[in-house]
Amino acid sequence: MQERKKIIADAVFLNVGSAGTTRLLVTARAKDLIPRSARRRMQPGGSNGGPACVGGRDRRSAIPITTWAYDAATDDARLTRVPDGDADLLSAIRARIEEFARVGGS
């Protein structure tokens, strides 16, 4: 038997890792479990903190974007990625780091 509980709190901290937290939030949003008022307050860089890390994407890059999407058939959020894209990604990261080092005088 599955039990269902509703918990009301001023703040919620998810500590299931980056992928786990994203998976939970994507699923909750798709199922409309996050109140709209909370969505407006949770802007990155606002008084609530975050983001914990910063990333970027070179729009000129041919490397495909990985995305999270909710799948209602499985009731789960899944990360889609190109399995053989890791080598290209590592090469692009290496080139960008070398460019930063060159510009910075290293």
List Cβ neighbours of 50 (8 Å cut-off, separation of 6 or more): 44
Query: How many angstroms separate the CA atoms of 60 and 56, rounded?
Result: 12
Model pLDDT, residue 2: 84
Q: Which amino acid is present at 42?
A: M
Question: Is-contact 56 92, C-beta < 8 A?
Answer: no
| pLDDT of the chain, 106 residues: tens digit per residue | 789 888 888 877 778 787 888 888 889 889 988 877 665 555 555 555 555 555 666 777 777 667 888 999 999 998 887 777 778 778 888 888 898 899 988 7
Write down the pLDDT at residue 10.
83
Encoded tokens for 97: 């780091």
